[in-house]
Structure 1
């Protein structure tokens, strides 16, 4: 596969962020100032981000000019970048769609969430399904019931009916949170529920990965892949778990704005893969997480793929 400058820059930046968590603040700031060590990677990564984003933004602006000059052209289908370029600034006074730096930040946010969090989740999800074929069977039954016909378009209403698939994705997120640890800093002195006192600006690190596997939180079967734990025994619908328990999408006012969109994206990809293909992990392939702010598979996921024969 050809190398992608933006993708490599993201990988390098994530690696540097991990080191920042374990180095004294003054040390990595000095390295950043002088462009030394790991921080040299961050400088190069930011330059690559800026080049790639500038290229996308410039191309989109030219496309918009060309579109507006062609009167009578069909309605233009907007992408996310176009939506932000067309923001009504009377409603959002602090946002400036004419500022390239604002648009660069938008691109980075969506690329980080879409490329890393979703892709990483789907990778672990496919591996878990390869170990739990009974879950694949149940998902395919749900697809056949709610989405008969391989040519059927997928919309939010149809995808929201995929209860078992949703539960399976939640299990994957619980066991292999794409962002495996979080850092919080109180703005003033506080006391944690455990009774520990913390001062303002202290760095508090906690493991989302460990939280998802705690028997005290999830029961004795916490280490098992069990989509049924997300399904209500009473009505067969989705069971709600408090965000302070299922912390993958953060919690409170910092809750992930793209949570619902993420599930729609993951379901769409998962349905097309599970419906059309049989996936088998290559025998002997080593599975282990990489040291990163995103829980990548260190060696990727090597699989064999076989096209399924679908009866229409």
Structure 2
């Protein structure tokens, strides 16, 4: 349960917060969802519910999620034990039995990797324009630079299902509701095994009208 419930809750909270505080990103997601929503029937409660197979190829929404995970990784710190003497690519020697702490939170904010605007939420950094001008594709970022899902043989086994669930849930929220973060709510990271919000996410949620 912990392997799914807590990480999902963290990822969803930070992504919805980032979209609510960056209207251009929310608008881009809604524009991407519009063709799908036009072909769908609303539920008995008047809500369009998006399924994972409908959102799996939405490029901007995937970029928005990765950008949120870059700034607010689910696991902000990694702890590794050195099994044998080794030499890291950086030139640092490590001894067997040593403990190495890796701050994935800091790695997502390295200016030399992400640029001068590394502290800004900007999903567009994940997009590459198609050569024929037909739109965008996701830009490949090496897993050793974007370690939100870990890397190598220890990569998260539940990555694909987590991405599928988060994108479908956020699509449903973004299309059907306006989310306004309360001004009195100061959102700060709470460092722990799972990166939570220190003061939780307090927001006003309102059903969108047809013309919005």
After TM superposition, the score normalised by the length of structure 1 is 0.61
**1:220 matched to which residue of 2?**
116
1:147, 1:158 within 8 Å by CA — same for their partners in 2? no
Matched, 1:200 2:90: no
More strand by share: 2
Q: What's the C-alpha RMSD, in Å, of the aligned pairs? A: 1.6
The separation in 2 between residues aligned to 1:185 and 1:234, in whole angstroms, is 42
**1:252 matched to which residue of 2?**
152
Q: CA deviation at 1:150?
A: 5.2
Q: CA deviation at 1:156?
A: 4.2
1:172, 1:225 within 8 Å by CA — same for their partners in 2? yes
The separation in 1 between residues aligned to 2:110 and 2:55, in whole angstroms, is 30
Match of 1:132 among 22, 26, 45: 22
**2:45 matched to which residue of 1?**
none
Count of aligned pairs between the two proteins: 201
Q: CA deviation at 1:121?
A: 1.1
Which is worse superposed, 205-214 or 138-147?
A: 138-147
Match of 2:107 among 211, 221, 224: 211
Q: Which structure is richer in relative contact order (CA contacts within 8 A, separation 6 or more)? A: 2
**1:191 matched to which residue of 2?**
87
Which is worse superposed, 302-311 or 277-286?
A: 302-311
**2:72 matched to which residue of 1?**
176
The separation in 2 between residues aligned to 1:285 and 1:154, in whole angstroms, is 29
Matched, 1:297 2:193: no
Q: Which runs of 5+ in 2 are unaligned?
A: 43-47
1:243, 1:251 within 8 Å by CA — same for their partners in 2? yes
The separation in 2 between residues aligned to 1:160 and 1:218, in whole angstroms, is 25
The separation in 2 between residues aligned to 1:296 and 1:199, in whole angstroms, is 33
The separation in 2 between residues aligned to 1:209 and 1:115, in whole angstroms, is 20
**2:6 matched to which residue of 1?**
116
Match of 1:165 among 51, 61, 78: 61
The separation in 1 between residues aligned to 2:4 and 2:79, in whole angstroms, is 21
The separation in 2 between residues aligned to 1:249 and 1:142, in whole angstroms, is 25
1:209 alignment partner, SS class: helix
Q: CA deviation at 1:306?
A: 0.7
Aligned CA distance change for structure 1 residues 181 and 160 (closer, same or farther; 3 Å): same
After TM superposition, the score normalised by the length of structure 2 is 0.89
1:146, 1:162 within 8 Å by CA — same for their partners in 2? no
Aligned CA distance change for structure 1 residues 153 and 245 (closer, same or farther; 3 Å): same
**Looking at CA atoms only, which structure, 1 or 2, has the larger radius of gyration?**
1
2:21, 2:181 within 8 Å by CA — same for their partners in 1? no
